[in-house]
Amino acid sequence: MYNAKAFSAASETSPLDSTTIVRRDPTDTDVQIEILYCGICHSDLHQVRNEWSGAMPTVYPCVPGHEIVGRVTKVGSAVTKFKVGDTAAVGCMVDSDGTCPECLAGFEQFCANSTLTYNFPDKHTGGVTYGGYSDSIVVDQRFVLHIPSGLDLAGAAPLLCAGITTYSPMHHWGVTKGKKVGIVGLGGLGHMGVKFAHALGAHVVLFTTSPNKKEDALRLGADEVVISRNADEMAKHAGSFDFILDAVSADHDINAYLHLLRRDGNLCLVGAPEKPLAVAAFNLLFGRRSLSGSPVGGIAETQEMLDFCGKHNITADVEIIPIQQVNEAYERLLKSDIKYRFVIDMASLKG
């Protein structure tokens, strides 16, 4: 065991503050990583403030962070995938049983015995896992990823959650050249959705309630921008989409988007509205349309996504902050005052 510097929340009403946590020494199959950058995901805020107490109650102290990019500083004797000095990344998972049908199929995100990067039982320490708001982390090599050379490391950090969350359903539902793809919402997830759909060759339409986001959406790769409150603009696209990625977490009418799908089209939720969404059955029956949801991807698919980003030079649009501003960043996150993802420069933790 060794001590690591971190920022943690002591309770659901406490601000994040500096602390010291205990990390395990690397085992034979472990990789120890000096964390250089860690993205801030909206789920970090939910977890810190115990807003998912029904499904995932928070254990304090809580060290969030699952968008981790760093440098390998130590490897176990059986590690073959990494060497000291490599750039490496860690996403939302740090372990799974490796033997169930889901793991064997490459879908570790669906493993019933997976271990999330923070606030999950830690079999090594007997406590809970601690995330990336820290100066280092130790992870089994199976859950460590390679960052392609040339990618901006700060911009690459959000790829470990926002990136794979949007890439995975596009991969699964076959977004390719010639497909018409809609992206609902232009936030941390939505802006990545636009970039991926554009790079995959699709005709990309961004749906937003904010006219002032049109210029930015076009810059990011959208071919068209539709103001979703304008009924005439929406009606022009009825029955024409192969796939729509819904990245909105606020309450909204998904029937308006189901109506835009062509035959066998799919609308996939990656946002997580607090309240159940009403679905009109006829919007699914007519046209054999489908409604789905998707979390992050498995490890192999996440590496595929990172390699794709390396090939197309895709990173998130980020605002880099020192860790001492993390509580302010959380408040700004609640106000959607960010384009499009906060990333913590972990060198600030040494100060």
Beta-bridged to residue 164, according to DSSP, are none
Q: What per-residue string of b and e applies to 329-351 under the rule 16 or more CB within 10 Å gives b?
A: bbebbeeeebebbbbbebeebee
> Nearest-CA neighbor of 340 among 256, 247, 209?
247
**Residue labelled with tokens 């189901």:** 258
Written as one string, the DSSP assignment of 166-179 is HHHHHHHTT--TT-
Looking from the CA of 219 toward its CB, the CA atoms found within 13 Å total 9
CB 287 within 8 A of CB 262: yes
Burial (CB count <10 Å: 0-12, 13-18, 19+), residue 211? exposed
**Distance from C-alpha of 154 to C-alpha of 317, rounded to nearest angstrom:** 9
Alpha-helical segments (H) within the chain:
42-48, 101-104, 153-156, 162-172, 188-199, 214-220, 231-235, 255-258, 281-285, 299-312, 326-334
Tell the residue number behind the tokens 């946002």, with chain if given.
271
Residue 53 is predicted with a pLDDT of 86
Of 141, 156, 161, nearest in space to 41 by CA: 161
d(CA 11, CA 330): 15
What pTM did the predictor assign? 0.96
- What number of other Cβ atoms are within 10 A of residue 46's Cβ? 18
What DSSP state is assigned to residue 147? P
Q: Which two structure tokens, joined as six digits, stand for 265?
A: 């089209």
- Write a three-state SS string for 48-71: HCCCCCCCCCCCCCECCCCCEEEE
145 contacts 306 by C-beta, under 8 angstroms: yes
Buried/exposed code over 281-310 (b: 16+ C-beta within 10 A; e: otherwise): eebbeebebebeebebbbbebbbbbbebbb
**Tokens 């001590």 belong to residue:** 3
3-state secondary structure of 94: strand
* pLDDT at residue 275, as a whole number: 87
Answer for the pair 178, 201: CB distance below 8 angstroms, yes or no. Answer: yes
Q: What share of the chain is helix, strand, coil (3-state, %, to 5)?
A: 30, 30, 45
Say if 2-161+297-350 and 163-293 have the same CATH topology: no
Closest CA to 294 of 178, 168, 186, 208: 168
- 8 A C-beta contact, residue 164 and residue 314: no
Which two three-digit tokens encode residue 5? 């510097």
Looking at residue 55, its pLDDT comes to 84
Low-confidence ranges of the chain (pLDDT < 50): none
Q: Tokens 């022009």, residue?
A: 236
Residue 12 CA to residue 25 CA, distance in Å, equals 30
Q: What is the CATH number of domain 163-293?
A: 3.40.50.720
Q: What fold does the segment set 2-161+297-350 form as a domain?
A: Quinone Oxidoreductase; Chain A, domain 1 (3.90.180)
- Hey, where are the domains in the chain? 2-161+297-350, 163-293
Q: How far is CA 243 from the centre of its chain?
A: 20
